[in-house]
């Protein structure tokens, strides 16, 4: 078996949530970190910037501009940087990611800001319970080896009433759009991703990980099962992505 075939098989197993997922995800994102931002914008035709702004708006930072917020699976800390630049914001943003090279790649974005990068796994955060006014994760939750554990861990660190926002890829429901999307996602995107990043499998893993991630209704249900309330979601760009919003319940409420 060729090395490329072995790598492809590992990517498939990781995307499906196999035992290899944590190690594989950490390795590939560490390897593509220098080109990560460029590829995000190129492969999404720059639409990802608009999606991130919509997700941040759902976080409701204006409710507590001096609070502490979590950018989970922060990557190169685009989200953390945008939160820190919101008008009137004077709080703190913790950018947590278990791939340290990703955090280092985003270091120039956070100079002089109220952002603290932390190398940490989403299923075991070094944050005391009930400390955060809000948390957000953009295109990272599907990469976690233990979705339900990560949801419960995020719930733990939020203060009562704290809001959790998930921005993640999804699959369009309209048939013609789904066909076009899957052709791009499974054929064009991996080719461009490989050419720019030089990585053989990272951008084959991406569409496979989306295919294995829960659909919007199931993700909402799992957020509720983890203990979140007021769970809602909405599609973006005809179903290419979706935003889920939920809260840690206030004492005495269900």
Predicted confidence (pLDDT) per residue in 159-180, tens digit: 999 999 999 999 999 999 999 9
Dmax (CA) for the chain in angstroms is 59
Helices (H), the chain: 3-15, 21-32, 36-43, 47-59, 78-84, 100-105, 147-157, 175-183, 189-197, 202-212, 216-226
pLDDT at 4: 42
**252 lies in a domain?**
no
More confident residue, 21 or 45: 21
- Could you give the number of structural domains in the chain? 1
pLDDT at 231: 98
DSSP codes joined into one string, 18-32: -TTHHHHHHHHHHHH
**253 lies in a domain?**
no
**66 lies in a domain?**
yes
- In sequence order, the 6+-apart residues with CB closer than 8 A to the CB of 74 are 80, 95, 96, 97, 102, 103, 106, 117, 140
CATH number of the CATH domain containing 232: 3.40.50.150
**144 lies in a domain?**
yes
Question: Residue 129's domain spans which residues?
Answer: 3-247
The pLDDT > 70 percentage for the chain reads: 93
**Lowest mean per-residue pLDDT among 49-53, 185-189, 213-217, 218-222:** 185-189
The pLDDT > 90 percentage for the chain reads: 74
**254 lies in a domain?**
no
- Taking only the tens place, the pLDDT of each residue in 41-70 is 877 878 999 999 999 999 999 999 999 999
**43 lies in a domain?**
yes
pLDDT category, 254, cuts 50, 70, 90?
low
Which SS3 state, helix, strand or coil, does residue 70 take?
A: strand
- In sequence order, the 6+-apart residues with CB closer than 8 A to the CB of 66 are 90, 91
**37 lies in a domain?**
yes
pLDDT at 18: 64
């Amino acid at each position: 078996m060729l090395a490329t075939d072995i790598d492809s098989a590992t990517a498939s197993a990781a995307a499906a949530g196999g035992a290899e997922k944590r190690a594989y995800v950490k390795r590939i994102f560490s390897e593509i970190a220098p080109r990560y931002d460029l590829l995000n914008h190129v492969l999404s035709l720059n639409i990802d910037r608009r999606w991130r702004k919509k997700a941040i708006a759902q976080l409701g930072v204006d409710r507590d501009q001096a609070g502490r917020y979590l950018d989970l699976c922060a990557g190169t800390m685009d989200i953390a940087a945008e939160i820190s630049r919101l008008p009137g914001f004077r709080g703190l943003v913790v950018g947590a990611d278990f791939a340290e090279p990703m955090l280092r790649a985003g270091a120039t974005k956070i100079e002089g800001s109220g952002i603290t990068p932390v190398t940490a796994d989403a299923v075991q955060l070094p944050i005391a319970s009930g400390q955060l006014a809000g948390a957000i994760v953009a295109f990272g939750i599907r990469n976690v080896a233990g979705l339900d554990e990560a949801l419960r861990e995020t719930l733990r660190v939020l203060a009562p009433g704290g809001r959790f926002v998930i921005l993640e890829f999804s699959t369009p429901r309209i048939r013609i759009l789904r066909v076009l999307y899957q052709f791009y996602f499974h054929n064009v995107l991996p080719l461009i991703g490989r050419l720019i990043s030089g990585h053989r499998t990272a951008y084959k893993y991406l569409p496979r990980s989306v295919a294995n991630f829960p659909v919007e209704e199931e993700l909402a249900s799992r957020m509720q099962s983890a203990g979140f309330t007021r769970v809602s979601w909405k599609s973006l760009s005809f179903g290419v992505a979706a935003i889920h919003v939920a809260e840690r319940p206030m004492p005495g409420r269900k």
